[in-house]
Structure 1
Amino acid sequence: MKYIASGFIFPGLFFMAWWLTISGSIPPGMVHTSLFEERAINWLLFFCGFAFISASVMHSLFAKKMAKTIGWVTNGFQYEIAAVSLGLGVSCFYALYWGRSAQVTISISVVAFLFFSGINHLKEVVINKNFAPNNTLILIWDFGVSISLAVLLLLPT
């Protein structure tokens, strides 16, 4: 029960990114833009940077506790997740300042990683009846960010 609150962090970041986009706030890395899509991509990548770096810390330094909140037993998968999360997080921050091609490049990796992570978490819910907070609430983040970025990148510029 004590891990339920942590399950709301990533979905909260997703909704915060959209709230800041809709409110017209200019994200880090942008001087000014009136293009909704550009703001949305940058806000999503900004919060992805924080989320991935924090996931890297949680899956490495606090591996046992993190696995428990997902409803899993810790093993080597977490150190792999930590490594890829660190790379994705740093790359998201990098893309904020290096323009559209950097944003597209990292977004492809983020979309693939989060979408298929979401499929795996959903499989855990359906097949194994794993309703742990960080296995269910994370679906909002996994599918919300991946679908949002995919749609935003496919819009004509």
Structure 2
Amino acid sequence: MSLSEIIRLVLQNVAPILFVIALVVAGFDRGKPVADRLLSWLLLLPIGLGGLWSAYFHLFQPELAARAIGWIDSPFQFEVGMADLAIGLAGCFGFFASFGFRAAVTLITAVFLLGDGVGHARQMIVARNFAVDNAGPVFWFDLILPVLALAALFFSRKSRK
């Protein structure tokens, strides 16, 4: 694998890579209960920075983003980009915020990402769309991240009682 192929692979999988980094960092960060640490790092890295990364492509590279998903460019990408931007900013702020703020960001993110996952699955079934950003790591990330974040939120709340 050439250096350019490695760089492309990393750039296409920034959010899932940030997810793995969040898991590792949460394991080493010993300041709080494990659920609190995990929720904090999931909010900052894959939700926050990953959301900002996705926003950049939907807002400033829409043709590239659409092609990677297996779609044609559409005005709806601006709306998706703005949603990604809002969630990304909220995730970054959530790293430092109160439990209530974290809960709201986690719930909004879970609905958005699980909805994306359902949309990707539908595209695979109905349109036979197996493009890398429809059926690849992004699809699994859209399912695993919100479930883990919701679990961390639940156990974080239990540890506060």
Specify the TM-score bucket, using the shorter chain as the normaliser: 0.7 to 0.9
Give me the whole-angstrom Cα distance separating, in 2, the residues matched to 1:15 and 1:125.
25
1:4 to 1:143, Cα distance in 2 relative to 1, 3 A: farther
In 2, Cα distance between the equivalents of 1:37 and 1:105? 16
Aligned to 2:141: 141
Deviation at 1:4, TM superposition (A): 6.9
Percent identity, aligned pairs only, is 19
Pairing 1:21–2:19 present: no
Secondary structure (helix, strand or coil) at the match of 1:112 reads helix
Which residue of 2 is the match for residue 39 of structure 1?
A: 37
User: Distance between the aligned counterparts of 1:99 and 1:83, measured in 2?
Assistant: 24
Deviation (angstroms), 1:20: 1.7
Q: 3-state SS of the aligned residue for 1:74?
A: coil
Provide the residue aligned with 1:29 in structure 2: none
Q: TM-score, normalised by structure 2?
A: 0.85
TM-score, structure 1 length as denominator? Answer: 0.88
Ranges in structure 1 where 5+ consecutive residues have no aligned partner: 27-31
State the shift of 1:41 in Å.
Answer: 0.2
Aligned-pair distance for 1:51?
Answer: 0.8
CA contact (8 A) 1:4 1:133 kept: no
C-alpha RMSD of the superposition:
1.7
- For residues 24 and 154 of structure 2, the distance between their equivalents in structure 1, rounded to whole angstroms, comes to 21
**Unaligned residue ranges in structure 2 (runs of 5+):** none
Task: Provide Cα deviations, 1:78-120, integer angstroms capped at 9, x if missing partner.
Answer: 0001111111111111111122111101111001000111110
Residues 14, 144 of structure 1: 8 Å contact kept: no
Distance 2:23 2:120 in 1: 23
Deviations 1:15-74 (A, max 9, x none): 22112222x226xxxxx32x0000000110011111111111100110011100000011
Which residue of structure 2 aligns with residue 92 of structure 1? 91
Q: How many residues align?
A: 149
Instruction: Tell me the equivalent position of 1:104.
Output: 103
Deviation at residue 154 of structure 1 after TM alignment: 2.1
Q: Residue 44 of structure 2 contacts residue 94 of structure 2 at CA under 8 Å; is this kept in 1?
A: no
Structure 1 moving runs of 4+ over 4 Å: none
- Provide the rounded CA distance (Å) in 1 between the counterparts of 2:96 and 2:110: 20
Q: Distance in 1 between matches of 2:69 and 2:8?
A: 10
**TM-superposition CA deviations, 1:110-140 (whole Å, max 9, x none):** 0100011111011111221111111122012
Instruction: Determine the C-alpha separation between the residues in 2 that align with 1:88 and 1:151.
Output: 19
My pick for the range that moved more, 146-155 or 105-114, is 146-155
